[in-house]
Amino acid sequence: MHIDLRTVSIKPQRQTFDHIARRIGPDKAASRYQEGTLDVQATHNFHYRPTWAPEHEIFDASRSAIKMADWYAFKDPRQFYYGAYTLARAKQQETAESNFDFVEGRGLADTLPAELRDTVLKLLLPLRHAAWGGNMNGAFITAYGYGTALTQPCLYHSMDQLGIAQYITRVGLLLGDDVEVLDEAKKHWMEDSAWQGLRRYVEDCFVLKDPLEVYVAQMVALDGLLYPLVYETIIDNVLASQGGTPIAMLTQFMTDWYAETRKWVDATVKTAAAESPENKAQLEKWITHWRDRAAAALMPVAQIALGAQADALTSELVGQFNARLAKAGVSL
Amino acid sequence: MDMKVSKKKLGLKEKYQHMTRGLGWETTYQSMDDVFPFVKYEGIKIHDWEKWEDPFRLTMDAYWKYQAEKERKLYAIIDAYAQNNGHLSVTDARYINAVKLFLNGISPLEYMAHRGFAMTGRQFPGVGPRVACLMQSLDEIRHAQTQIHSISNYNKYYNGFHEYRHMLERVWYLSVPRSFFDDAVTAGPFEFMVAIGFSFEYVLTNLLFVPFVSGAAYNGDMGTMTFGFSAQSDEARHMTLGLEVIKFILEQDPDNLPIVQQWIDKWTWRGYRVLTLVGMMMDYMLPKRIMSWKEAWEVYFEENGGALFKDLARYGIRPPKWLDQIEQDKDHISHQAWATFYNYAAACNFHTWIPTDDELDWLSQKYPNSFDKYYRPRLEHWREEAKKGNRFYNKTLPMLCQTCQIPMIFTEPGDPTQICYREVDYKDNKYHFCSDGCKEIFEHEPEKYIQAWLPVHQIYQGNCFNEGVDPTAEGFDPLAAVLDYYHLNFGRDNLDFEGSEDQKNFDEWRGMATKNV
Amino acid sequence: MSKVFIALQTNDDTRSIIQAILADNPHAICNEQPAMVKIDAEGSLTVRRSTIEELIGRDFDLQELHINLISLTGHVDESDDELTLSWNN
């Protein structure tokens, strides 16, 4: 016997789980983002203290100087839960794939002026290590941050940074004569004076203990200057006008990624700053400090492609950065 | 235009090598010890992280592509299942209680695995294992969320699901799975990998996902079947990571062997104890059964685990300790657990029942050495008593094992009529254990296990009443006060399946579907 | 020899994959269970891309296996052309 269950109209007993209903009201259906995020992390009655940090609980809000009455005040405007996140990235990777195919299939890499090609290799390839640093920092916040609303998108960010490191690697393999370009770029990252400010910046982030300070140093300050500088300004504008459009196609993932991700970063900063004057003061202090360091570290990197223009363009970007943060409630 | 000779196409292994390996570097502005502060204190010696073998070589773009494909399929089924009232197509509403146990006891562990792998994914200095750990961390949040999303529809119609997050941190039996994972994440990164990556994922999760999820399919629960199998497809990567980790650690230094062996012993036992809940689900909570717990144990632990440990023998690894007891226990633990939940059904967020005659016969047939002799008469006795109006609800709080936190319900090896008790005196206190395994685990790290938040102790200490409740007031009912603290709706979430709201609603709704009203 | 196994969901995508695995591994035993197929084999089991491609008539990337894979045991060796599971005992 076939039963057509669809025709049965039955009244649900409840719309969602109680912990969600306490936040959004009992009569509302919850979104998948809400059910997959709100209060998902444990908060009470932990059994043991970490053997690696007995001064803390497993999840412990006191790891940060930023204080929140409710850590679920943070919201990801993209509403990324795993499914939404992977679907969004799968779509982007499909675009990236066809861009790579297009450039590769038509031999466009070989049409690039040699000088431009060298500039790209010099500028872009050491950034795979900076992206790897971004992956480390995102992992740190995911591990030791407090509340799923904050930690979840940090893992997505972390994996995106790994993806970006891999896309840069592919650009290198496509433009370079051999895999040795990767070794050479690493040598620059380790030894060339142009990269030492940035490498020091990234390494200094690795030893920070406050998850929100890592957030400021990586997601706010470094991403907030590096992506507009390298991808939006240098590749999409300056180099594209010199015949480097194929490069802009190969790094479209990064441009799109940053345009999307900054909205989440803005929302996070805004929420934390609006919470209390103390938070706001702390964020201003951190952001000022890391912005200045990031701008200084990126200057010699900018010079690789921009030469004498680097100074002016970087100052302009810092101005835009300040304006952006002002909108998020942080005056620098 | 001159066409350049196309470059040598890189193979999968070589390509992956370039995509990951070179990314890390030896830090110089900060010392490696400060960047990776937790990698030495457990005593594991790693000389060359580059020797790490990547098990599966998924770059992020491939990961996004294939995982998105899985997600598309999964959510299409979840949506269809919800839209078509798929919950009414399960064999029997008793089955839904197995899903309650899953959401309450297992899904939160997926989330803990997500955070735990983020920790190891940050702490290992090697690029290969870091990437593998982070990918697993990402998969694990997937599992937590796909389970929550699939089961969300059951929560709309049935009791016992609604406060799973609150109950996880409070309800007595949920401290068993929870303390297991708290134990793992509070250990160092290497122990975590042996505990979860190897002992749990490799040796034990097949038991959870494969036969149980296949059972869900057999009982008409396409939602659970789909998230279960979809999760297990990631598990294949995780298991392989677990095995690589063990081989890698053992190959790095001979001094690592005794440390790893102790972890394997500990975590196989800890995991095995947690799986008691799964044994009970398979033998008692699936109305249509495909395989008994004992059979599943034989296929997935004895056969597969046997092959695994034979393989690891070349490193000097021997099979986990206490296997002789485990071997005897497979005839008993699912029955002992179900009896316990039947006893304490008033303090549970799912329903219990006495199996039907058919089901009792099935159990007799599957457990010829134990069921008729020890367990069937007791179940039949309880059934008779219930018929006479004397349904037995145990109101005395049980003594819990300090390590696994399961009530003292397991029996002496070799004597299924004698409850097994062990004890240890430590710093002026007496601690109690269900087994030699749990006792030895405690003795190895007493300072850790004395911290355990034991639900029964906490109730007796007055820590499990809502704020403002006065235990000295006249007529104070401690059980009712504890259930309030649990947010358990008395009469809806707990007690017998027979006569429950779930049973009535399911029958009525299914009746509406099969008759013209 | 110890047994390795691979388990796949039962659906339209896996029909040819299972057929290919059984063709390439005459010693393998196919075990059908609700919603899944478990293939057991003594010693080792090899999944070969070319055999699958012949059956499905299109290119196949072995990593596509992940979509419908349920579980496996044994040491994994994955290349562009083959995925092999094995025990050294």
- The CATH number of the domain holding residue C56 is 3.90.56.10
Structure tokens at A33: 């983002």
Q: Is B467 on the interface with A (CB under 8 A)?
A: no
pLDDT of residue B206: 83
Domain boundaries in chain B?
A: 49-467+476-514
Structure tokens at A161: 């940074």
**Interface touch A206/B27, C-beta < 8 Å:** yes
**Interface touch C80/B236, C-beta < 8 Å:** no
CA B227 from centroid of its chain's CA atoms: 15
Complex ipTM more than 0.95, yes or no: yes
Distances (CA, A) of A213 to A261, B303, B385: 18, 50, 63
Query: What is the domain range of residue C23?
Result: 3-86
Q: Is B394 on the interface with A (CB under 8 A)?
A: no
For residue B352, give the DSSP letter. B
Query: What is the domain range of residue A133?
Result: 63-71+80-327
Q: Is A24 on the interface with B (CB under 8 A)?
A: no
- Rounded Cα distance, A9 and A27, in Å: 18
Q: Is B69 on the interface with C (CB under 8 A)?
A: yes
- Rounded Cα distance, B113 and B197, in Å: 10
Banded pLDDT at B8 (limits 50, 70, 90): low
Is residue A141 pLDDT above 90, yes or no? yes
DSSP B470-514: -TTSTT--HHHHHHHHHT--TTTTSSBSTT-HHHHHHHHHHHHHH
Is residue A305 pLDDT above 80, yes or no? yes
Min Cα separation B67/chain C (Å): 7
pLDDT of residue B290: 83
pLDDT per position as a tens digit, B386-405: 999 999 999 899 999 999 99
CA neighbor of B148 nearest in space, from A146, A38, A25? A38
C27-65: b (≥16 Cβ within 10 Å) or e: ebeeeebbbbbbbbbebbbbbbbebbeebeeeebebbbb
**Interface touch A13/B156, C-beta < 8 Å:** yes
- Rounded Cα distance, B389 and A250, in Å: 75
Distances (CA, A) of B122 to A158, A212, A214, B28, B183: 10, 16, 13, 18, 19
Is residue A201 pLDDT above 60, yes or no? yes
Query: Chain-wide mean pLDDT for chain B?
Result: 93
**Interface touch C71/B210, C-beta < 8 Å:** yes
Is residue A231 pLDDT above 90, yes or no? yes
Q: Where are the alpha helices (DSSP H) in A25-147?
A: 32-37, 82-105, 114-124, 127-144
Least confident range from B32-36, B119-123, B204-208: namely: B204-208
Distances (CA, A) of B162 to A332, B242, B350, B376, B377: 46, 34, 11, 33, 35
For residue B197, give the DSSP letter. I
pLDDT of residue A7: 64
Least confident range from A28-32, A230-234, B236-240, B245-249: namely: B236-240
Min Cα separation C56/chain B (Å): 19
pLDDT of residue A319: 98
Which residue bears the tokens 């735990």? Answer: B116
Q: Is C11 on the interface with B (CB under 8 A)?
A: no
What's the CATH number where A124 sits?
A: 1.10.620.20
Taking each helix axis from N to C terminus, what angle separates A82-105 and B127-157, rounded to the nearest 10 degrees?
A: 130
Which residue bears the tokens 């970087």? Answer: A314
pLDDT of residue A22: 97
Is residue B253 pLDDT above 80, yes or no? yes
User: What is the chain B residue with the closest CA to A108?
Assistant: B3
- Rounded Cα distance, B143 and B153, in Å: 16
**Interface touch A81/B145, C-beta < 8 Å:** yes
> Using CB atoms and an 8 Å cut-off, which of residues 286-325 of chain A contact chain B?
none
Q: Is B389 on the interface with A (CB under 8 A)?
A: no
The domain total for chain C is 1
- Rounded Cα distance, A298 and B420, in Å: 66
The domain total for chain A is 1
pLDDT per position as a tens digit, B155-167: 999 999 999 999 9
B19, B89, B451 ranked by CB distance to A49: nearest: B451
Tell me the count of B-C CB pairs closer than 8 A.
95
Partners of residue C3 in chain B, C-beta under 8 Å: 303-304, 307
Is residue B7 pLDDT above 70, yes or no? no
- Rounded Cα distance, B365 and B294, in Å: 12
Banded pLDDT at A177 (limits 50, 70, 90): confident
Is residue B5 pLDDT above 50, yes or no? no
Min Cα separation B377/chain A (Å): 38
pLDDT per position as a tens digit, B260-311: 999 999 999 999 999 999 999 999 999 998 899 999 999 989 988 888 999 9
Q: Is C13 on the interface with B (CB under 8 A)?
A: no
User: What is the chain A residue with the closest CA to B163?
Assistant: A18
- Rounded Cα distance, B124 and B130, in Å: 6
For residue A42, tell me if it sits in a domain.
no
B22, B162, B187 ranked by CB distance to A182: nearest: B22
For residue A197, tell me if it sits in a domain.
yes
- Rounded Cα distance, B109 and B107, in Å: 5
- Rounded Cα distance, B172 and B155, in Å: 21
Is residue C60 pLDDT above 70, yes or no? yes
Q: Is B72 on the interface with C (CB under 8 A)?
A: no
**Interface touch B11/C79, C-beta < 8 Å:** yes
What residues pair up with C86 in beta bridges, in sequence order?
C44, C75
> Contact partners of B by the rule of 3+ C-beta pairs under 8 A?
A, C
Taking each helix axis from N to C terminus, what angle separates B205-218 and B222-252, rounded to the nearest 10 degrees?
A: 170
Report the CATH number of the B49-467+476-514 domain: 1.10.620.20
Banded pLDDT at A3 (limits 50, 70, 90): low
Banded pLDDT at B53 (limits 50, 70, 90): confident
- Rounded Cα distance, C81 and B331, in Å: 44
Structure tokens at B93: 């509403």
A42, A142, A148 ranked by CB distance to B137: nearest: A142
Banded pLDDT at B2 (limits 50, 70, 90): very low
Q: Is C7 on the interface with B (CB under 8 A)?
A: yes
Distances (CA, A) of A115 to A119, A167, A185, B251, B513: 6, 22, 16, 47, 73
pLDDT of residue B232: 80
**Interface touch C66/B290, C-beta < 8 Å:** no
For residue A52, tell me if it sits in a domain.
no
C2, C34, C71 ranked by CB distance to B310: nearest: C2
**Interface touch C34/B290, C-beta < 8 Å:** yes
Least confident range from A18-32, B2-16, C41-55: namely: B2-16
**Interface touch C70/B209, C-beta < 8 Å:** yes
pLDDT of residue C23: 96
CA A281 from centroid of its chain's CA atoms: 23
Q: Is C72 on the interface with B (CB under 8 A)?
A: yes
Q: Is A187 on the interface with B (CB under 8 A)?
A: no
Q: What pTM was computed for the model?
A: 0.95
